[in-house]
Structure 1
Amino acid sequence: MVSVDLERAEGALVWRVPRGWWGLSSAAVGGGLVRPRWVLNLGVGDDFTRTDLDRYASSRADGLGVSGPGTALLTAADVSQVVATEVDGLRVWATVASPSRHGRCRRSGLVTTVCPVGWATCPAPSTSWSS
């Protein structure tokens, strides 16, 4: 099995994704069914008001030394407090903000997870288009 490891950086978590892997993400930047080369979990503070999320994530990705297509999660949780576990070969990382400790999530809390799941790699099917 190919390993996907977490790299910690100031205010960010970085995963470099093996070539050819698919990702399914609800991330604001690079979400959907994608083939990312990296995944970022970027911590943002209560004062974060930017609306140019693609530009912000691209700038952070450049500063973290990742390039190509990627997925960026923006979280109000403290990414330095990431928790990881592994069960039967499935690794999961989570950042969690308690409703009592974080102003943005007073009612329900916040959980951000990254879960690489591997299975047999198959070549992508060819697609033909006709008009």
Structure 2
Amino acid sequence: MKKALLSILVIVLFFLLVDFIKANVSVPRGIQIKIDEISSEYHGVISDKFAVRNTNPTHLKIITETDVIEISPNQKIVELAEIGDSLIKPANENFAYLKKQNGQLHKIFYTKLSQKTRNHKSFPKEWTENWMESSEWDK
């Protein structure tokens, strides 16, 4: 009887350990992409607007002081952006500043955040209540 109870306890603890490791070690790819996008930081000039499929532009090519990067931000940024405008993305913020060549400055959320992403255990807790406008589409 004691061996049976001990066996059941070991099995339960094993499954709890596996669940704990999965929850705290692996981050789903989609969640990690959002975390990486929010964590990123750059300041550069838009050199190209393009699409990877046969659609309207969905991506921007940015020339920074040290690099050329390609991004796929919030579609509103792509629609408002023109070649020669500047884009400033602060680190750990889900917004970017689009500085037009005429000096106008637009603050626009950077990437959409679904409620599922916000509520996921891997999404940083300190970000869950920030940038609510980026989730309005998911209601």
Q: TM-score, normalised by structure 2?
A: 0.27
More strand by share: 1
Larger Rg: 2
More helix by share: 2
Q: TM-score, normalised by structure 1?
A: 0.28
